[in-house]
């Protein structure tokens, strides 16, 4: 099992550009989560999906952020347009729904917006 | 009510010491309390978890103590080693809701000196 796979690992972009982060969850896991990590705010939940359906997107900071899960094996988090304050490490995690097995996190995407 | 408050923010102990990290919550609907360990450049990884029907759980050198009436739980690391130097996050999640996600504390950076 390759675990949760995120790409890219690092992204540097200019303010105003569109950024797309990608995630492949563990096969068989039917819950997927996007978190953002900063020194000031820690790990913040942005959005999560159960069976590819968005359940709670109340953590998405602004309309500039959007997330999709077109199938059970792929999800994207898009920021358009990006701003310097979006600089953070973005993590994707997956888990089996209704089982308290914990989450498996990917290695994250470090985003820097200059 | 959705917050999990974690302290201290950072902790330095000598090898063999017993660091203790504390967390508090308000939402009585929470019924799953995991701890995650994160090394630099990696995603958080599940370390140990507890449910409120028990007051203590041990796994190797790691122990969770849980006080349901006080709505507090803590992580103890016995015989700490330099390899335990990492950031530790407590978290909580409710069970009786259709699709819930972990809420994380802000993290504690632990340094174990040799």
On whether any CB of chain B is under 8 Å from the CB of A107, the answer is yes
**With a CB-CB cutoff of 8 Å, which residues 43-62 of chain B face chain A?**
43-46, 49, 51
On whether any CB of chain B is under 8 Å from the CB of A4, the answer is yes
Separation in Å, CA A59 to CA A84, A111, B42: 18, 18, 22
8 A C-beta contact, residue A107 and residue B42: yes
CA distance A90 to A105: 10
Calculate how close chain A gets to B98, using CA atoms only, in Å: 9
Low-confidence stretches of chain A (pLDDT < 70) are 1, 97-100
pLDDT digits (tens, 9 = 90+) for B41-85: 999 999 999 988 999 999 999 999 999 999 999 999 999 999 999
Dihedral (Cα; A58, A5, A25, B109), 10-degree rounding: -50
Calculate how close chain B gets to A106, using CA atoms only, in Å: 6
Check residue A108 and give its pLDDT.
97
Using 50, 70 and 90 to split pLDDT, how confident is the model at B97? low
**Length in residues, chain A:** 114
Check residue B48 and give its pLDDT.
95
Taking each continuous run of H as one helix and of E as one strand, the counts in chain B are: 0, 11
Backbone angles phi, psi at A84, to 5 degrees: -55, -35
Mean per-residue pLDDT of chain B: 92
CA distance B37 to B43: 9
């Amino acid at each position: 099992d390759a675990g949760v796979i995120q790409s890219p690992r690092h992204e540097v972009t200019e303010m105003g550009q569109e950024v797309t982060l990608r995630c492949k969850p563990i096969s068989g896991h039917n819950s997927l989560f996007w978190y953002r990590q900063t020194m000031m705010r820690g790990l913040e939940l942005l959005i999560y999906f159960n069976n590819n359906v968005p359940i709670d997107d109340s953590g998405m900071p602004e309309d500039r952020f959007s997330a999709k899960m077109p199938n059970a094996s792929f999800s994207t988090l898009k920021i358009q347009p990006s701003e310097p304050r979006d600089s953070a490490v973005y993590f994707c995690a997956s888990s089996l729904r209704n089982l308290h097995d914990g989450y498996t996190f990917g290695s994250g995407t470090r985003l820097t917006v200059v | 009510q959705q917050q999990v408050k974690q302290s201290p923010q950072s902790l330095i102990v000598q090898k063999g010491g017993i660091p203790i990290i504390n967390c508090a919550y308000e939402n009585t609907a929470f019924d799953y309390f995991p701890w995650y360990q994160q090394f630099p450049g990696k995603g958080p990884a599940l370390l140990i978890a507890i449910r409120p029907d028990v007051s203590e759980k041990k796994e190797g050198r790691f122990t969770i103590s849980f006080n349901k009436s006080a709505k507090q739980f803590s992580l103890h690391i016995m015989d700490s080693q330099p390899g335990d130097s990492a950031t530790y996050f407590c978290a909580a999640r409710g069970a009786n809701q259709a699709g819930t996600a972990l809420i994380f504390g802000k993290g504690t950076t632990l340094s174990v000196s040799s």
